[in-house]
Amino acid sequence: MKLEFDYQESFSPEVTLSFKNTLTLPVGVTGILGDSGSGKTSFLRWLAGLSLNVLGKLHLDDQQISSLAPDQRDITLVMQDSFLFPHMNVEKNLLFSVKRNKGSYQVNNLNTIYKVFGIYDLLHQSVSSLSGGQRQRVALVRGLLNGAKLLLLDEPLSALDKENAADLLSAISFFCQKYQLRVLMVSHSLDHHRKVSKQIIRVENGEITSVGSAISELNKNSDVCHSTATVHKRKNIDGLCELEVGDAVLYTLPITNDLETVTIAIDSHDVILSQTQHPQCSVANQIQGEVINWKPSKGHDGMLVELRVNSSLLLKSWITYKSYQKLNIDEGQILWLQFKAGAIHCY
């Protein structure tokens, strides 16, 4: 799907939004990441046609839609506040969306979707009896049932705890693949983007500053390194899961999902550097890497060293100035990187 836009909105002489780009949206989630007040929600509202008297041009798959009313656009917006109809129960709220399906896809087995998203037991409850997290689940499913070509999500999981949010993100991925749906999702949670985002739009000070793969964008200016890993063995003889990143084999704690590939995140504070290998050590992962860069850490309380393990795996290690001098860090230097199995977080 191609999305071309030129959006400008001024709230004051000091606050002006200017988003201009042409994006190719893959099936699944494209994340939007940026600080509060950077214009993410305003941008989604404009895409949905809810911003009146705002300059801009918008094309969806080469169709000019900027002059169309919200109900005429093949776009659905799910806001952070659920905006469920209080005079209808949960099921009637959902069927309201089904009856106004925009036609890009049609969900036939509603009960299956209700169960996947964990709302089947809520169907006959009143909206007023729902918790904040339950309201968000219902609002999300109502948006999905609308059958739009593009779904916009504004902090859709803000009322959910980490475990429930992870379950719902898996459900969103399942739905996107089944119905070939494209989603633009605003979220401040890096965990959400790690789990589902295929690419990320980064927004700063009212402008789009970069667009790239989720891995490349998450790695920018971060103390945490991200990579895509292939699950080689779910449980080896030692009870650990074996992952492959290029020609490197990593050992992590058992993972519960059935994915063949996962996104991994390793914090620089969990990586130890050494000039020699330590075979008589409890650390599960010991691999060699080449020093390619180093700089003072964000708090200037140490050094952040970046090392290349292979073309697919870059890692960083936070070390003190004393360790930096002791190791005599230099470009091209080969060092051993050591980290525990629990230091690898899989999404």
Q: What is the CATH number of the domain that holds 140?
A: 3.40.50.300
pLDDT at residue 13 tops 90: no
- From 10-24, 88-102, 176-190, 202-216, the region with the lowest mean pLDDT: 10-24
Quickly list DSSP for 76-104. EEE-SS----TTSBHHHHHHHHHHT--SS
Whether 11 and 96 share a structural domain:
yes
pLDDT attached to residue 1: 96
pLDDT at residue 172 tops 90: yes
Q: How confident is the model at residue 341 (pLDDT cuts 50, 70, 90)?
A: very high
Structure tokens at 260: 């063949």
Whether 199 and 278 share a structural domain:
no
Whether 102 and 251 share a structural domain:
no
Whether 50 and 155 share a structural domain:
yes
Q: Is 78 in contact with 157 (CB distance < 8 Å)?
A: no
- Quote the CA–CA distance of 127 and 35 in Å, as a whole number: 32
Whether 184 and 256 share a structural domain:
no
Quickly list DSSP for 188-210. S-HHHHHHHEEEEEEEETTEEEE
pLDDT attached to residue 54: 86
How many separate domains does the chain show? 2
Rounded to two decimals, the pTM is 0.90
Residues 185-189: what's their mean pLDDT?
96
Whether 238 and 284 share a structural domain:
yes
Whether 134 and 238 share a structural domain:
no
CA proximity to 293, closest of 326, 268, 276 = 268
pLDDT tens per residue across span 295-324: 998 777 899 999 999 999 999 999 999 999
pLDDT attached to residue 299: 74
Instruction: Give the range of the structural domain holding residue 292, as residue numbers without chain letter.
Output: 224-346
Residues 161-189: what's their mean pLDDT?
95
Q: How confident is the model at residue 129 (pLDDT cuts 50, 70, 90)?
A: very high
Strands of 313-319's sheet in order across: 272-274, 334-339, 285-296, 303-310, 313-319
In a 3-state reduction of DSSP, which class is residue 217? helix
Whether 228 and 215 share a structural domain:
no
pLDDT at residue 55 tops 80: no
- Quote the CA–CA distance of 330 and 291 in Å, as a whole number: 7
* Amino acid identity for residue 40 in this structure: K
Whether 191 and 332 share a structural domain:
no
Whether 107 and 198 share a structural domain:
yes
